[in-house]
Structure 1
Amino acid sequence: MKAKHLKLALVASLLGAVSAPALAVDNLEKLTKDDNQWVAQRKDYANTGYSGLSQINKSNIKNLKAAWSFATGVNRGHEGAPLVVGDIMYIATAFPNNVYALDLSNGEKIKWSYFPKQDPSVQSLLCCDNVTRGLGYGDNKIFLQQNDGILVALDAKTGNKVWETKVVDVKQGATTTNAPHVFKDKVITGCSGGEYGVRCYITAYNIKDGSLAWRAYSTGSDADVLIGKDFNKEVPVHSALSVYEDVNGGNKEGGSFKPVPADKLKFPETDLGLKTWLKPQASKNGWEQGGGATWGWYSYDSALNLLYYSTGNPSVWNPDVRPGDNKWSMTIFARDLDTGLAKWGYQLTPHDEWDYDAVNETILWDADGKKLATHFDRNGFGYTLNRETGKVLVAEKIHPFVNWASSIDLKTGVPVKDPKFSTHQDVNSKNVCPASLGVKDQQPAAYSPKSKLFYVPLNHVCMDYEPVEVKYVAGQPWVGATLSMFPGPDGVMGGFMAWDGLKGKQVWYNKEKFSVWSGALVTGSDLVFYGTLERWFKAVDGKTGKELWKFRVGSGVIGNAITYTHKGKQYVGVLSGIGGWAGVAMNLGLTNENDGLGAAGGYKELKEWNAAPGGGALNVFSL
C-alpha cells in the first residue's frame, strides 16, 4: 500500500474509533468560540457573556437602530436569551414554553415551532413568575426544560421530538425554570422548589437518548450528594462540621452565631448533608425537605472536566427550626462531568437566615497564571476562587450597604455575621441589606478578557424580615417568613457596575431607578449592553460606564442580551417582557405590600412604566 493510501486508511481507522458524541462535543466547543453565532445561553462554557464582535463600536453606536422584532404571543416574564446556530434563531417563551425557530435567511420566517402540552396548574407552583431561562443546543438538538419538569430534545432542523424525560415531580411542588446546559456528551438540568420543601438536585442526561447519567442531591448522605473521596482535599476546612458556635441550641433571639475560631474547627467530616441539619422539620429530617434548588446557570472547564454550579436556600425560610450549617445548600460545587463526583464544594452562607440563594452563575477566567472562578452572590459578596481547588482568594462586599455580615474570613470562608441583622421566629428584623432577592439575583454578569473586568447588574434593595411558624404540606407553599422590601440607602433600587475580580473592588458604578434584572453582554469594542425594568435597552462604555445609547422597548427587560452576525452584519438582540421576582406581583395584580414575597410593595411603581402582564417580544438592532 502506498504511503498516501496508508495514511488515509490510518486516519479513517482513528475516526472510526472516535464516537459520534465525542465528535459532536468537539464541534460544540468550537461553535461556542465562533462570535458569528450564539449557541449557548451565556455564549461559551465559561459563562462570560462576551463576544469579540466589534462592527458596532463606540464611534458608531449612535447609529444603532431597530432592525426587526418578533412578538412571542405569550405574556409574563421572558428571561434567558435566544440561541443563534448558523442561519437559525431559536426562541423559548414564558409558560407554556413555546419554541420558535426563525430562518434569518428568509426574512425571519418561522421555520418550525413546538408547543408543549402542559397542565396549566403548574403555573401556580412557579414562585417567581412563569419564566424559563432559555434553551440548550448540542448534537444537532434543541433542548427545552419545560416548567412541568419534562426535559425535551428536539431535532434542530425539523423541531420533531427526539426524546423526553421527567426530571422532577410537580406533585411535590417541584418545577423547572432553568435553561438546559450542554457540555460534552451530557445535558445538565436542575430543579426549582425551595419554597415548597423540595429536596433538590442536579441531573446529567446522556445527549443521545436522554438516559440518566448521574444525579447529585444538594442535601443528604455523601452517597446521595456524590461526594468524591478526595472532596475538598486542597481546602479541607470547607468540610467543617459546624462553622458557628451555639449550633445545638439554634439561633437565639437578639443574637447570631459566632464563627468558630479556625484552630477549633472540626474537619474534614463526612455526611455533612445529614449532620448539619440538627432538628427535624414537619414529619421528616430537615435535610429531606432541605431545598438547595439548582435553577441557575452552569459552567464547564473542558480541560479540567469540571462542571460548576451552585445551590439555593435551605427550606424553610424560618432559620430557627433548622439549626446547623444546613449543608449543602448555598454551595458552589465543582463536579467531574463524567461521573458527577464532587471535587470541591464551598458553602457561601452557612445557616442561611435571609433566603440568599447561591444559584447565581460562576464565571471562569484566567489571570496571573491561575485558573479562577468569580461568583457574585445574592448575599452581597463578590467571590473569586481557585477553580481547581475551591480556595477562596477574594471575598468583598459588592456594595457598602451590605450589613448582615461585616466580612468573609478568607482562612475559613466563613461570613462574620452582624447579630443586629440576624433573623428569628416571630421577630421582625428591620433594615436588613440586601433584601432576599440579593445584591444580584439570577441576572447574569459578563466578563471581558479584553478589559479584564466583570460587568454586573445589581439590586439595591433592603428589607424587614420576620420568620414565622408554618406547617409543611406536600405540594403547597412552605415559606415560613414574611418580608417587605424597599430601596436601599442610595435611594434607588438598582445599579450596574464594573468589577475588578482580583482586587474585589468596583471600577465604576451607575445607579438605576429599579433593579437591573437583565443579563449583561460585553463585546470586543468595549460596549456593554443591558436592559431595565422601565423598558430601556442600553449600551454603556465598558471602561467608564458612560451611557452611549438607549432605546425604549415595549416592556421591561429581564432577558439577557446577545450579539451575532448574519451576512457580514452585526446584530444585537434582547427579549423583553417584564416579570421574574421583581415583576411577578405586577403581572398578577397583587397589591398587598407583602405579596409576591415582598415584590408588590417594593416594586409598586413598575405599573407606571409597564402594561401588565408584560408582553413577550424579541428586539433586534443593527447599524
Structure 2
Amino acid sequence: MLLVGGMLLHLTMTSSVASANEELIRLAKDERNWVMQTKDYTVQRFSKLDQIDTSNVKNLQPAWSFSTGVLHGHEGGPLVVNGIMYVHSAYPNNVYAIDLEHPEKIMWEYRPKQNPAARAVACCDLVNRGLAYGDGKLILSTLDGQLIAMDAKTGKVIWNVETADVSVGQTQTQAPFVVKDKVIIGSAGAELGVRGYVTAFNLKDGKKVWRAFATGPDKDILLDKDFNKQNPHYGRFGLGLKTWEGDAWKIGGGTNWGWYAYDPKLDLIYYGSGNPAPWNETMRPGDNKWTMTMWGRNPDTGLAKYGYQKTPHDEWDYAGINYMMLTDQVINGKMTPLVTHPDRNGIIYTLNRETGSLVAADKIDPSVNWTRKVDLKTGIAIRDPEFSTRMDHKARGICPSAMGYHNQGLDSYDPRSEIFFMGVNHICMDWEPFMLPYRAGQFFVGATLSMYPGPKGYLGEVKAYDVKTNSMKWEKAEKFSVWGGTMATAGNLVFYGTLDGWFKALDSGSGEELWKFKLPSGVIGHPITYEHNGKQYVAILYGVGGWPGVGLVFDLNDPTAGLGSVGAFKELAKYTKMGGGLMVFALPEGR
C-alpha cells in the first residue's frame, strides 16, 4: 500500500476555489502545524516528526498545560496553525487562541451565546469534536446548531449561520471540514427522530450552497445521474422512499456527526451516515436507505457518486459515522485508490474510493457475532438470526454493543509499515425493544440496553491491523474503551489516551508500552504533535465524558441509563473525575 499523502494532493485547481485547499495542503505538509482534526485530507494522522522516538519517549515530561474551566467531556483535539494553538471546549463551546511563544498567556478567547435548550436534547454528553481552519478563518460549530467563522488572528466573528433546529431535537457536535471554498458540516439528533443531512456553506460569507439528506426523495438526497452505476446491486434510485413504510423516512435518522476525508484528484468527499430512528427495528420495516451508508460526494454540488449501505435495516444502533482513511494500493497490477472505514458494526470496510466497489470487509475482532461474514460480491452482511432483535424478545450476548467495536475516535496509519492503529471498544450487550410514539424534540429510541465487557473481560484495546495481510499484528488491552483514537509518528510510536486518564505511548512495531502519564481527567479526545522552534511537542485534551462517561457526568446509577453505557462503565468513577483542559509534553533539554 502506498501513502496517498503529498503525492495524491498535487493537482491543478481552478483559482476561484484554490485558496482554502492550497493553503490547507501547504500548511498540512509543514510538520510545525496540525491544521485539521484529521491532520490532512487523507486522515492518516501520521506525523513525520521523529525527535521523540522509542529510545527517548520514556523521558517525555509536561511542558505546559491549560484548563478550559469546563467540566463536560472534551472530544477532538487542538489545532496548531503558524505558531498559534486553538483550543475548544465542550458546551458552552468556548474557543481560546494561544501564541506558542507565550503559552502562559491567552491571546484571545471567544464565548458564543447559545440556546440552553440544546443541553436537554443532546444525546450523549455536551461534547464538541473540534475546530476547523481555512483561508485565515477559524470555524466553530456549537451544540445549538450555529456555525461561526472567526478571524483566526483576532477572534472577531466574520459570519454566523444556523444549521440546526433545537426545538425538534437537532444538535451539532461535529467538527467542521473545509474543502475548497466550502465548509462541510453534518447534524446530530437521530436518537430524537430527526432527519439527517450534510450541508455545505461558503467559507467566505456563510451562505448555504447545498444540503443533502440521508432519507427521502432522490432530489433531497442529491443523487447524481450515474449514482451507483458501477455497483447497481447496492441500489440506485427511489429507495430513500421505497425502503421505508409510509412517511417514516421523515423522522428516520441518518445523521452524520463523525469525520470526513477528501480526495482532491477525484474531487470527492467521504463520510458515513448514521443509524435509522427509532432503534426499535419493528417500527420501521425495510432497508431504511440511505442510513448506515458510506458516501462519495462532489463537494461543489453535493451530488452523490455512490452510496454503500453497510447495515441495511440496522437493528443495533451501529451508526456508521466513523472515520474514513485514504490510501492507494496495487490490486491486480493496478494502482487503486482506497477508502478504509472501521465501522461501529465491528467490520473494517475498504472500498475503491473512485467507484465505491467493495474490496475487503474484515472483522475487527473474532467475537463479532451479529454477522457471520460480509459477502464481497453483494456487499450484504450474512446475519446470524440468534443475535437479531425484535419485539417481545430480549436478545442476549450481541457483539459488538451499540457503542460498536469502533466509535467516534480518529485513528492513524503508518505508511512505511502499512499498519493501521485503532483505538477500539470491546463491549457486548443485551437488547430489548419497546414501542413508543414520536414527539418532536423528545427522545425516540425504543430499546433498553444492558452493556458489559466482551469475551476477553475488558472494555477496550489498541489494535494494529496489517493492511497487507488483513490481519491483526498486535493488540494492547485496556481496562476501559480507547474512545479518542490514536496518532502515529515517524519515531515509531503510537500515542493515545484512556478513559481512566492515562496518556500512553506504544512501540508501533510491537505494541510494547514505553511511556505513560496520569492526566487530571480521563481522555475521550485524540492526540496531536507539532514542532515549535525546532522542538517536537505532543498535546492532548483531557476531560472525561461523552457516551462512556455519561453516568459519571450526570451521576446516573441505573445500569440501563445513558443508552446502556452506565452499566458498562460503572467502575469509571473510581478512577477519574470531571474537568477539562490541555496538556502539552516535550523532551527535557539535552534528551
Partner of 2:581: 617
How many Å apart are 1:502 and its aligned residue? 4.3
Letter in 1 for 2:15: V
Does the 8 A contact of 1:87 with 1:104 survive in 2? yes
* One of 273, 277, 287 as aligned partner of 2:249: 287
1:559 and 2:555 aligned: no
Q: How does 1:313-462 map to 2 (within 5 A)?
A: 313-368=275-330, 369-462=335-428
Change (3 A) 1:88 1:584: same
Counterparts of 2:340 and 2:253, CA distance in 1? 24
* One of 98, 105, 117 as aligned partner of 1:102: 98
Letter in 2 for 1:320: T
Deviations 1:194-238 (A, max 9, x none): 001000100011110001111100001111000001111111111
Letter in 1 for 2:243: T
Counterparts of 2:392 and 2:143, CA distance in 1? 34
Counterparts of 1:477 and 1:89, CA distance in 2? 37
Partner of 1:140: 136
Counterparts of 1:503 and 1:180, CA distance in 2? 34
TM-score normalized by the length of structure 2? 0.95
1:276 and 2:243 aligned: yes
Partner of 1:114: 110
1:207 and 2:203 aligned: yes
Identity %: 53
Counterparts of 1:108 and 1:338, CA distance in 2? 41
Letter in 1 for 2:392: D
Deviations 1:576-602 (A, max 9, x none): 000111001111000001110111111
Counterparts of 1:535 and 1:24, CA distance in 2? 36
SS in 1 for 2:26: helix
Counterparts of 1:113 and 1:192, CA distance in 2? 26
Partner of 2:225: 229
* One of 26, 35, 42 as aligned partner of 1:39: 35
How many Å apart are 1:358 and its aligned residue? 0.2
How many Å apart are 1:25 and its aligned residue? 2.4
How many Å apart are 1:124 and its aligned residue? 1.2
Does the 8 A contact of 1:232 with 1:238 survive in 2? yes
Letter in 1 for 2:18: A
Does the 8 A contact of 1:394 with 1:502 survive in 2? no
Does the 8 A contact of 2:19 with 2:135 survive in 1? no
Letter in 2 for 1:49: R
Counterparts of 2:182 and 2:566, CA distance in 1? 40
Letter in 2 for 1:492: Y
TM-score normalized by the length of structure 1? 0.91
Letter in 2 for 1:307: I
1:303 and 2:265 aligned: yes
Deviations 1:293-332 (A, max 9, x none): 1100001001111000000000000001111110000000
Does the 8 A contact of 1:398 with 1:505 survive in 2? no
Partner of 2:60: 64
1:18 and 2:15 aligned: yes
How many Å apart are 1:426 and its aligned residue? 2.7
Deviations 1:150-175 (A, max 9, x none): 00000000000000111011111000
Counterparts of 2:28 and 2:266, CA distance in 1? 18
1:463 and 2:425 aligned: no
Counterparts of 1:124 and 1:556, CA distance in 2? 23
How many Å apart are 1:105 and its aligned residue? 1.0
Does the 8 A contact of 1:348 with 1:414 survive in 2? yes
Deviations 1:269-295 (A, max 9, x none): 411111111x24xxxx11111100110
* One of 176, 200, 220 as aligned partner of 1:180: 176
Does the 8 A contact of 2:19 with 2:180 survive in 1? no
How many Å apart are 1:108 and its aligned residue? 3.9
Counterparts of 1:448 and 1:303, CA distance in 2? 22
SS in 2 for 1:47: coil
Counterparts of 1:293 and 1:504, CA distance in 2? 30
Letter in 2 for 1:506: M
1:512 and 2:509 aligned: no
Counterparts of 1:531 and 1:275, CA distance in 2? 44
Deviations 1:247-283 (A, max 9, x none): xxxxxxxxxxxxxxxxxxxxxx411111111x24xxx
Q: How does 1:432-581 map to 2 (within 5 A)?
A: 432-581=398-547
Letter in 1 for 2:239: L
Counterparts of 1:28 and 1:382, CA distance in 2? 28
Deviations 1:79-105 (A, max 9, x none): 000000011100110000000001111
Partner of 1:6: none
Partner of 1:254: none
Counterparts of 1:207 and 1:513, CA distance in 2? 42
How many Å apart are 1:367 and its aligned residue? 1.7
How many Å apart are 1:34 and its aligned residue? 1.4
Letter in 2 for 1:485: M
* One of 133, 141, 152 as aligned partner of 2:148: 152
SS in 2 for 1:109: coil
How many Å apart are 1:622 and its aligned residue? 0.2
Counterparts of 1:607 and 1:83, CA distance in 2? 30
Does the 8 A contact of 1:462 with 1:487 survive in 2? yes
Partner of 1:12: none
Counterparts of 1:108 and 1:361, CA distance in 2? 34
Partner of 2:9: none
Counterparts of 1:509 and 1:216, CA distance in 2? 39
Does the 8 A contact of 1:51 with 1:563 survive in 2? yes
Does the 8 A contact of 2:19 with 2:181 survive in 1? no
How many Å apart are 1:23 and its aligned residue? 2.9
How many Å apart are 1:106 and its aligned residue? 1.9
How many Å apart are 1:18 and its aligned residue? 3.4
Counterparts of 2:225 and 2:23, CA distance in 1? 33
Does the 8 A contact of 1:384 with 1:501 survive in 2? no
Unaligned ranges ≥5, structure 1: 1-16, 240-268
Counterparts of 2:64 and 2:554, CA distance in 1? 29
Counterparts of 1:454 and 1:358, CA distance in 2? 19
